[in-house]
Amino acid sequence: MKPSLAKGTRDFTAQEVSRRKYIINILQNNFELFGFQPLETPSFENLSTLTGKYGEEGDRLIFKILSSGEYAAKVNQEDWDNKNHQKLTSQISDKALRYDLTVPFARFVAMNHGKLTFPFKRYQIQPVWRADRPQKGRFREFYQCDADVVGSESLFQEVDLVQLYLKSFSDLKVPVTIHMNNRKILSGLAEYAGITDKLIDFTVALDKLDKIGKEGVVKELLEREISQESIDKLDFLFEQSDDALENLLQLKEKFAGNEIGMKGVEELEFVLTQSLNLGVNSQNLVFNITLARGLDYYTGAIFEVKADEVAMGSIGGGGRYDNLTEVFGVKNIPGIGISFGLDRIYLVMEELNLFPEEASSKIEYLFANFGGEETTEALKLIMQLRAKGISAELYPESAKINKQFTYAEKKGIKNLVFLGEEEIKNGNVTFKNLEAGEQKTVSLEEFLG
């Protein structure tokens, strides 16, 4: 059988793993600088934990795991004959791969809230799985790097997360723009247009604007039974100025007497103003009134990060979710969190050639194998280098030197070391820098530094 990969998954070479670790190390360092502590949760959860948290479309993308044993024997025959997949799913599956890191985190908080000190800040770097259609920058298995704060309603948490985004991407040298909105503004817009009962339909369609354009959004709104009259009232959404505060002022006029809409405007205005007061460049922050992020659990601020110089979807996103733990029976634990899309960040950095030399894992020294006593002495020297934290290896066979050269060049090894009879007798080491093409002989003491 010809081997193949499952769609939406990838193998990672040594260079790719090293570069991914480079990104993760920068993010992890910044998470901890900002006071977040690490957490890990299982790769799969009870299906009931995940379903109903991501909206109708999100639920369809959850990878379900077949129950162990004779699961087919427990299936209702009528549901099987009618091919009722919704009813069948709950009969043959009770677990699923995690769809994101936020819901498992909320489950963790609900189970352990009596032991936690609030506000509780955690970061999590683990893979998630989605049964999505694979395309550039979108995979079925990918890593999320999340930072969340629960137990605080303070809008300064939003301000701090903006700082975390900007510092992290600055350290990665990726130029970005943070798009911001507020779920309460979207609720206010639904109220303004008289479609409060269609809020989810409205936000799901609006969230696709950058993919299907204005005409596509309008078409989908009509298909979701939202009237042309309501759509006309919302037409101003598609013609916003570049001045975030000016757009908020326009909304204040439209939201006169609209309590939830005004609340959203005030919250977003606070975050924007405080960020600008801290020296954030206004060009890095965009009030994107059409940003919806189609996840049902957001209740306040929502963020999306886009790379400035690469045609790529969002490379980060998140928002406030003040009711998420309620579905697990624990009330009054507000939360907010953001995520970094490791895989898309990698693609952006690769396209912009932003990975430094040290982001690639390279072996420092390969010792040529001459056989006999020379091999034993080479191994002793390799042990001393490794004790100093310097990578080194011995070519396994006593082969022709050209073959050993070729091996070193193909693996990108920096130096080929010759420890022959003459070097051992004189207490020297000869090595050739394969990148510069220079060869020199130095004393053993100088070599070991």
pLDDT single digits (tens) 379-389: 999 999 999 99
Q: Is the dihedral of CA 110, 112, 114, 116 positive or negative?
A: negative
Cα–Cα distance measured from residue 433 to residue 413, given in angstroms and rounded to the nearest whole number: 9
Rounded mean pLDDT of 317-336? 91
User: Using 50, 70 and 90 to split pLDDT, how confident is the model at 247?
Assistant: confident
Contact 149, 165 (CB under 8 A): no
Beta strands at 415-418 and 438-443: parallel, antiparallel or unpaired: unpaired
Cα–Cα distance measured from residue 118 to residue 112, given in angstroms and rounded to the nearest whole number: 12
pLDDT single digits (tens) 89-140: 776 788 999 999 989 999 999 999 999 999 999 999 999 999 999 887 789 9
Asked if residue 3 has a cis previous peptide bond (ω within 30° of 0), the answer is no
Q: In DSSP terms, which residues pair with 305 in a beta bridge? A: 178, 316
Rounded mean pLDDT of 347-353? 95
Please tell me the pTM assigned to this model.
Answer: 0.86
User: Using 50, 70 and 90 to split pLDDT, how confident is the model at 56?
Assistant: confident
Helix (H) or strand (E) holding 53: none
Helix (H) or strand (E) holding 325: none
Contacting residues for 239 by C-beta, under 8 A, at least 6 apart: none
- Between the alpha carbon of residue 387 and those of residues 136, 247, 384, 390, the distances in Å are 43, 61, 5, 7
Q: Is the dihedral of CA 203, 205, 209, 210 positive or negative?
A: positive
Contact 201, 306 (CB under 8 A): no
Phi, psi of 446 (to 5 degrees): -65, -40
Two tokens, residue 373 = 């006593």
- Between the alpha carbon of residue 157 and those of residues 35, 88, 430, the distances in Å are 12, 42, 57
Two tokens, residue 396 = 């396994």
Contact 63, 100 (CB under 8 A): no
Rounded mean pLDDT of 265-276? 96
Is pLDDT at 224 greater than 80 in this prediction?
yes
Is pLDDT at 434 greater than 90 in this prediction?
yes
Cα–Cα distance measured from residue 19 to residue 36, given in angstroms and rounded to the nearest whole number: 23
Phi, psi of 70 (to 5 degrees): -80, 70
**Comparing 240 with 353, which gets the higher pLDDT?**
353
User: Using 50, 70 and 90 to split pLDDT, how confident is the model at 86?
Assistant: low
Range among 155-169, 229-243, 351-365 with highest mean pLDDT value = 155-169
Two tokens, residue 224 = 């979701």
pLDDT single digits (tens) 368-417: 999 999 999 999 999 999 999 999 999 999 999 999 999 999 998 999 99
Cα–Cα distance measured from residue 440 to residue 313, given in angstroms and rounded to the nearest whole number: 50
Average pLDDT, the chain: 91
What's the alpha-carbon Rg for the chain, to the nearest Å? 28
Residues in the chain: 449
Q: Is the dihedral of CA 117, 51, 210, 216 positive or negative?
A: negative
Cα–Cα distance measured from residue 28 to residue 124, given in angstroms and rounded to the nearest whole number: 9
pLDDT value at residue 290? 84
Helix (H) or strand (E) holding 293: none
Is pLDDT at 419 greater than 80 in this prediction?
yes
